[in-house]
Each structure stands twice: as C-alpha cells, then as structure tokens.
Amino acid sequence: MHTDLHQQQHPPCQRNDAPTHLDPKRHPFEPAALLLHLLEREPQLGRVLGIAAQPGELAVPVDSLFALDPHGQPRLRQWVALAQGVDDAPALLRFIHDYLAIVVPGLLGMYLLYGVAFQPHRQHSLMAINADGQPGRLLLQGFAGIHIHHSTLRWQGVAPPFPAPRSDPAERVRDTFIHTTLMCHLGELVWLCARHWPVHEYALWRELARHLDDCFEHLRERVEPQRWRLERQALLERDWPTQSPGICRQHNPLKMRR
C-alpha cells in the first residue's frame, strides 16, 4: 500500500495559518510584490495564483510529486488517488485536466496580459491543495529569474508603484515562458505521467494544447491584436527555442494536437 500523501516526508509540505501580504513601498523591487499588485487587478488570476497558502490549504512542492516511493511509483500517484478516489488512467486524465485548469490560465494569463514571465520550475512551485484534495492554486517561489516586457505592462495601463528592472526584449520573455512553463514544469509532468500510466504522451500534450487554446480565446479581447497572434503562433504552431548548446530550435510537441 502506498504511503498517504499527507504523511510523505520528502520534501515536507508547507501550511500557513494566514495569508502573506507584502507592502510594495517597502521593497525597491520585489517580484513577489509585483505579483501581488497584478493579482489585485485581476481577481480571476488571484483565484489560481499566489505566493503563500491560505488557511485550510496544504501547499505541496511540485518537485515532491516526482519523487519515487518504495514501490517505484511517483508521489503524484498518491495525489491522483486522493483527489479522484482511484489512481487509474482515466483518473489521471481528470486530475491533469484540473491541474492544467489552474496552471495554464494563471501563468499564460499573467504572460499574455502583462508580459510577465516567472520561472515556475517545479522546485520553485507549490500547489495548494484544498480540503477535499483537489488542486486549488499554484504558489510561486524563487523570483530571481523574472522577466518583464514593459511595453505590454504599459499597454494594460499599469505603472508599478515601485521601480522595476529594465524591460526585457519580447523574445527573451517569450523564451523564458516557453522554457520554464511549457517545457520544464508542464512538459516534465507530461513525461512523468506517460512513463507511469498507460496514457499516450500525445494525449497529454493535446490536453495541454486545448487549455492553451481556451486561454488564448478567453483573453483575446484584452490583448493587443498583433501580440495575440504572434504569441499564439509562437506557443502553439512554431518550433520552440531551446537552451541546449548548439541547438537553436526544437520540435514543438503541441503541434501534435491536430
């Protein structure tokens, strides 16, 4: 029998008794304060993103879900069973749907609307679980690698109440989003699931593509039209950049959705 998710020891879960609040005026540039500032403007994003667990939430490090238990199974299997009642392939697909319904609108929404790309590597991310074991919000940690496209911020009428770093080129912000969100956080989750469940990798990439499509359509009227078209093409239709030495582009697995 697998160890219960709440009892697993590596790494520890984090629970907070009260929400964390940062005062932007006290931080020359604090990326967490920028996130909080934008979440105040966007209550819908605030329902899926944050930096600290709220009362009643259990914060589970995403990286811990990749650790193998004594049976050689990822801790993710325990969470699927907790959330869905069983841990078979259909339950996994339902779980992935719920997980993507949080991560994609949160991170893609922040990127499309405000030109902000965090670095949500799995070691920098926690998922807040609610009382019934369902994924609730993505909690971001480790903001050192944040990239910001100031023109997109200004297009939304945002003037941060604190000095922000210089603007990054649009391509650099996009490459950061693709590498850290799509390739690392979500891509590694896809590969983990395909290795340990009888689910084809293509099906998981197609599910991710559907969530991205839905998010693009939902935000279409709020994003500058040319930016919307360019970003959709770059994320869903073109090959992706890679940070591997000597390789400029790599196949975009989201193309397999058709």
Summarised one tens digit per residue, pLDDT across range 43-99 is: 999 999 999 999 999 999 999 999 999 999 999 999 999 999 999 999 999 999 999
Amino acid (1-letter code) at residue 104: V
How far apart are the C-alpha atoms of 84 and 86, rounded to whole Å?
5
And the tokens for 149? 């496209």
**Per-residue buried b or exposed e for 59-77, using 16+ beta carbons within 10 Å of the residue's own CB:** bbbbbbbbeeeeeeebbbb
142 C-beta neighbours (distance < 10 Å), count: 15
Nearest to 108 by CA among 257, 222, 27, 258: 222
Which residues pair with residue 128 across a beta bridge?
A: 59, 137
Q: What is the pLDDT of residues 9-21, one digit of tens each?
A: 333 333 333 333 3
> What is the assigned CATH class of domain 8-257?
mainly alpha
Q: What is the token pair recorded at 208?
A: 């991710």
Q: What does the alpha-carbon distance between residue 208 and residue 203 come to, in Å, rounded to a whole number?
A: 9
Quick: pLDDT tens for 228-258. Answer: 999 999 999 999 987 654 445 578 999 855 4
Output the pLDDT for position 160: 58
d(CA 13, CA 10): 8
Domain chopping of the chain, boundaries: 8-257
